[in-house]
Structure 1
Amino acid sequence: MIRRATVADRQAIRDLHLASWRDAYTAELPVAYLRDGLPADMDAKWAARTFAPPEVTLVAFTDDELTGFVCALCDRDPPLIDNLHVRPDLRGGGTGAKLLAAIRVALRAAGFARAYLTVLESNPRALAFYLANGGLDEGSVEDVMVGRTVRARRIGFDLQTPDGMG
């Protein structure tokens, strides 16, 4: 089941986000930060989220367990898909594709024609996922991740077509 997130989902989203970063970003971030600094940063990030416009946050559940989430920031045009994370042990099972499709529908319904995200160049699995799910590689960009400059790819999505290919 995919639905809009509420404030009641805050802690579960934070915990999943923390687990996902610890699993996916060991190539980019120091182990000490992932262990010691990241929990407080995730607390602050999710405490600031309102789960109301201009954000769109969707969560995926199986029974009563959070399996993934996606968040788009709609205070810009095109909106930024700021996060899409699936529980690490469930990656590759289709949850991410369903969340990406759902956020694209939500953003299209909000009147947007395009959206984008950035994905680390050091994360080829995520890059392949976004490209296989309708993303268009718009080129290399510098991004900042917890104060560190990183290389990323900007991936654009055409929201006007069902498959994102336009």
Structure 2
Amino acid sequence: MIRLATPEDRDAITALHLASWQDSYAGILPPEYLRDGLAGDLAAKWAARTFAPPELTLVAFTGKEMTGFVCALTGREPPLIDNLHVRPDLRAGGTGGKLLEAMKVVLREGGFARACLTVLEENAAAHRFYLRHGGVDEGSVADEIVGFPVASRRIGFDLR
């Protein structure tokens, strides 16, 4: 089941986000940050989220267990798909694709013709995933994740 997130989902989203980053960004971000600093930064990030426009967050559940989430920031043109994370032990099972497609529908129904995201150049699996789901690589961009400079690729999506 995929639905709009509510403030009651905040803790589960934060925990899933932490698990996903610790798994995906090992070797990309400093290990001491992933171990000691990331949990507090993500807790602060999600504590500030309102779960209302211009932020759209969808969550996926199997039974009562959250399996993934996707967030888009719609206060910009084109909207930025800011996060898409699936529980590390459930990756490659279809949840990420369903979440991405559901967010594209929500954005299209909201009147947006395009959306974009950035993906770390070192995250080849995520890059391939976004291209398989209709994304177009629009080139390299200088980016930053929680204060750390990273090389990213901008991926665009035509929502029409």
TM-score, scaled relative to structure 2:
0.99
Could you tell me how far 1:40 is from its partner in structure 2?
Answer: 0.4
- 1:109 equivalent to 2:113? Answer no
More off after superposition, 54-63 vs 25-34:
25-34
Aligned with 1:134: secondary structure? coil
Matched positions, count: 160
What is the alpha-carbon distance in structure 1 between the residues aligned to residue 116 and residue 89 of structure 2? 26
Hey, what does 2:17 align to over in structure 1? Answer: 17
The 8 Å contact of residues 27 and 122 in structure 1, kept in 2 or not, is answered as no
Deviations 1:129-165 (Å, cap 9, x if unpaired)? Answer: 00000000000001001111110000000000xxxxx
Matching residue's letter, 1:132: R
Correspondences of 1:61-100 after superposition (within 5 Å): 61-100=61-100
1:55 maps to 55
What letter is aligned with 2:77?
Answer: D
Structure-1 residue corresponding to 2:130: 130
Counterpart of 2:153 in structure 1 is 153
Q: How far has the Cα of 1:38 moved from its partner?
A: 0.4
5+ long unaligned stretches in structure 2: none
Is 1:26 aligned to residue 21 of structure 2?
Answer: no
Shift of 1:27: 2.0
What fraction of aligned residue pairs are identical, expressed as a percent?
A: 69
Deviates more, 1:124-133 or 1:140-149: 140-149
3-state SS of 2:26 partner: coil
Q: Give how far 1:56 is off.
A: 0.7
Cα distance between partner residues in 1 of 2:127 and 2:34: 22
- Matched-pair contact (CA < 8 Å) for 1:20–1:85: yes
* 1:28 CA displacement: 1.5
The separation in 1 between residues aligned to 2:97 and 2:148, in whole angstroms, is 29
* 3-state SS of 2:33 partner: helix
1:112 Cα shift? 0.4
| Displacement of 1:26 | 1.0
Structure 1 unaligned runs (5+)? 161-166
Cα distance in structure 2, aligned partners of 1:155 and 1:60:
23
Which amino acid in structure 2 is aligned with residue 95 of structure 1? T
Q: How far apart in 2 are the matches of 1:36 and 1:88? A: 20
